[in-house]
Amino acid sequence: MPSNGQRLTPLEMLAKLVSFDTESTKSNLALIAFVEAYLTSWNVPYVRVPNEAGDKAALFATIGPQNKGGIVLSGHTDVVPVAGQPWTSDPFVLRVENGRAYGRGAVDMKAFDALALALVPEFLAADLKTPIHIMLSYDEETTCLGVVDTIRRFGHDLPLPKAVIVGEPTMLEVVDAHKSVVTFTTTVHGLEAHSSKPYLGASAVMTAAEMIAELNRIADEMMERGDASGRFDPPYTTVHVGVVSGGTARNIISKSCSFHWEFRGLPSQDPSEIPERLDTFAREVALKRLNRFGEFGRIETKPHAHVPGLAPQSGSFAETLALRLAGKNRTQTVPFGTEAGHYQSAGIPTVVCGPGSIDQAHQADEYITLDQLEAGAAFMRRLAAACAAS
């Protein structure tokens, strides 16, 4: 085993990772360069997978045999913004106090990344028979697409993994299912006119209101359908409009109105159903009303992020392994989206299991408890023992 490698405790590694401001709107290359230097000091091979713009990159490293697939420990490097949040200390300087480690990304999810990296010397010393892969991605907090280019290489110039553990914070509960997250922007284009003569124009705002009302009706129907599995909270596919903007003045018929909306679908939800239903309503109802005085307007809906859901695969290798490592006897679900669905869509058994609570994520003074950090280290040490045995 190399003797010149840099040794950092999980807490020291977490402090280092938190020190990089990797908000999703910014580059993560400084963090990736640090990780590459660290892995190089241990003679651990890795592959950098840059995005198209070249300002961000994923990283895939392998400890153990290089000629076969193993267990992927998958974490993202990007974090949500800190602007406007009332932090009591610098969010990019790890603060340890009262059994907690505070910092942006401390729980979501640089703690998991830090554990995987800090334990590299122990993974090397274990003489693994099954490799452990470390996957670090980008843009999870925005599109969840930062893993996709790497996944496409599995089975080609990168080994096809046997299983993936996505380390989002679950208090080390093993999660086998979560909802999809699919987001859109709908824009109504109308025609301005004086509000006293509505027949001279086409109101984008009032048409958008009809479209939003239709989404409300769809949301009610999804609620009535419910969740046949009985495992999700809330127990149905949700539909939500978060932002509406449009119009110029009270007495001007509006020429433009847009709204941002999403649905979070049960794993069984057909991802095309809701946008197709809204498109049908737009074409058959809303557009006819918009243009009842003339061919003045149009409606367009553009998709943005599509985070696939994670469907349960009872008895899969990933589930069986993670339950054994976590000392659990049953799986859970979570209401938030992760990168796990992308791995599963590529045919790789995948679960979500990581230290800390999602309740502490995305807020001022984000933290992970030191107890959970230690429990996460124990989980990974048991993984190393399992991979050394077979």
Q: Which residues participate in catalysis according to the annotation?
A: 78, 140
Distance (Å, whole) CA 356 – CA 369: 7
Cross-sheet strand order for the sheet of 100-102: 95-97, 100-102, 367-369
Strands 71-76 and 163-166: parallel
- Per DSSP, 377 falls in state H
How does DSSP assign 280-309, residue by residue? Answer: HHIIIIIHHHHTTTSS--EEEEEEEEEE--
Strands 332-334 and 298-307: unpaired
For 204-214, letters b (16+ CB in 10 Å) and e give bbbbbbebbeb
Looking at the DSSP assignment, which residues form a beta bridge with residue 261? 184, 241
Q: Which residues have a Cβ under 8 Å from the Cβ of 11 and sit 6 or more positions away?
A: 94, 96, 101, 114, 370, 373
